[in-house]
Amino acid sequence: MDLYEYQGKELFRRFGIPVSEGRLATTPHEARAAAVEIGGPVVVKAQVLTGGRGKAGGIKLADTPEEAEQRAGEILGLDIRGHVVRRLWIERASEIAKEYYLSITFDRGAKQPLFMFTAEGGVDIEQVAEDSPEALVRLYVDPLEGFQPYQARRLIYGAGIGDPGEQKQIASILESLYAAFVGCDAMLCEINPLLVTPDGEVKALDSKFTVDDNALYKHPDIAQMRDTAAAAPQEVLAREKDVTYVKLDGSVGILGNGAGLVMSTLDVIALAGGRPANFCDLGGGGDAEGVVDALEVITSDDQVRSIFFNIFGGITRCDEVARGILQALGRMTIEHPIVVRLDGTNAEEGRRILADASPPNLHVEPTMLDAARRAVELAR
């Protein structure tokens, strides 16, 4: 789950990472009121779950409350890379002397959290990594040992931070960021820019914070930060129904049982010259309830033109899945053509059940490749 900048900053604040004072606003009027309360120049910041807001015109300075109101009116409703701005963060404007970059993510290959730090912040970090890789300091933390003070010094000296005041503050921020990363079960904590003011004060001017969805049950306070209005309706529906759902951008809706099978189904659709619109993983299930839920989610996506139902029966029996499909079709009207491939335990019986009932729009194919070709053809 990705958090908005202001939510990430709230977590930063809790863990002792300095951030600027700010207020949330959803109307120009509220932005003005926020600016009055904060006093002095503010920065009006679009809250969207994507980066590059500055370049897209989503971040503007305002010297007076009137100006904040005006800037808010300009930014609200703006479409930033497909994300419409509905919330603003009004923050006390900072003076900028230097901009650094700091992040922690998981390096799955190394199975360890990875710190990245560079004094060349403010710009796209991918650019720094490409143009001057030596300027980007990388450091792994052994999750059992935790973050050690010598590691803070290594990062700071590695990035060439010479000012003792900055060194001290950054050492503390590094420790706090690691605590936030672990304490919130984060997958990413990024501060870009980590700001140094002309007075030498170091603070987080931006936040990118991603929390592991699977750990949200441990963090109800973070879980409730989710903005359901901003999520696609299919995703909200899928979450409600506890269906694993991923949106893609082709035209074939995919239903499978098990992550491995679903992944290979995506490949086979590509092999057949098509593109998946989305996929649902039924997991070990295949009962009517699960099938109805998944079909509801899949068909609510306008881009879907055909559905590929790919089941390999193991513990899940294909005859049960076949009955589930028929029950589901009895309970809901689906206009899309559905291509079914059943294999594994009781596959023959399952195919026979479907053949006997032969509901309209349902095509049973013997192999995964045949079924994929059919689904792609029907999506055209």
Positions that interact with ligand GDP (CB under 6 A): 43, 51-54, 59, 93-94, 96, 99, 122, 192-193, 205-206
Tell me how far, at minimum, the Cβ of 64 lies from ligand GDP, in Å.
15
List the single partner that 350 binds among ligand GDP, Mn ion, none, CB under 5 to 8 Å by kind. none
- For Mn ion, the closer CB: 192 or 345: 192
Tell me how far, at minimum, the Cβ of 289 lies from ligand GDP, in Å.
42
Tell me how far, at minimum, the Cβ of 40 lies from Mn ion, in Å.
22
Residue 176 CA to residue 144 CA, distance in Å, equals 17
List the single partner that 41 binds among ligand GDP, Mn ion, none, CB under 5 to 8 Å by kind. none
- For Mn ion, the closer CB: 46 or 372: 46
- For ligand GDP, the closer CB: 1 or 59: 59
The gap from C-alpha 60 to its chain's centroid, in whole angstroms, comes to 25
User: Residue 103, interface with Mn ion (CB under 5 A)?
Assistant: no
User: Residue 310, interface with Mn ion (CB under 5 A)?
Assistant: no
List the single partner that 175 binds among ligand GDP, Mn ion, none, CB under 5 to 8 Å by kind. none
- For ligand GDP, the closer CB: 64 or 244: 64
List the single partner that 47 binds among ligand GDP, Mn ion, none, CB under 5 to 8 Å by kind. none
User: Residue 206, interface with Mn ion (CB under 5 A)?
Assistant: yes
The residue with its CB nearest to ligand GDP is 54
Q: What string of H, E and C letters represents the secondary structure of the chain?
A: CEECHHHHHHHHHHCCCCECCEEEECCHHHHHHHHHHHCCCEEEEEECCCCCCCCCCCEEEECCHHHHHHHHHHHCCCEECCEECCEEEEEECCCCCEEEEEEEEEECCCCEEEEEEECCCCCCHHHHHHHCHHHCEEEECCCCCCCCHHHHHHHHHHCCCCCHHHHHHHHHHHHHHHHHHHHCCEEEEEEEEEEECCCCCEEECCCEEEECHHHHHHCHHHHCCCCCCCCCHHHHHHHHHCCEEEECCCCEEEEECCHHHHHHHHHHHHHCCCCEEEEEECCCCCCHHHHHHHHHHHHCCCCCCEEEEEEEECCCCHHHHHHHHHHHHHHCCCCCCEEEEEEECCHHHHHHHHHHHCCCCEEECCCHHHHHHHHHHHHC
# residues contacting Mn ion (CB under 5 A): 2
Tell me how far, at minimum, the Cβ of 269 lies from ligand GDP, in Å.
35
Active site amino acids: 101, 190
Tell me how far, at minimum, the Cβ of 206 lies from Mn ion, in Å.
4
The residue with its CB nearest to Mn ion is 206
Options 47, 151, 192, 310; binder of Mn ion; rule CB under 5 A: 192
- For Mn ion, the closer CB: 90 or 294: 90
User: Residue 47, interface with Mn ion (CB under 5 A)?
Assistant: no
Applying CB under 5 A, which residues contact Mn ion?
192, 206
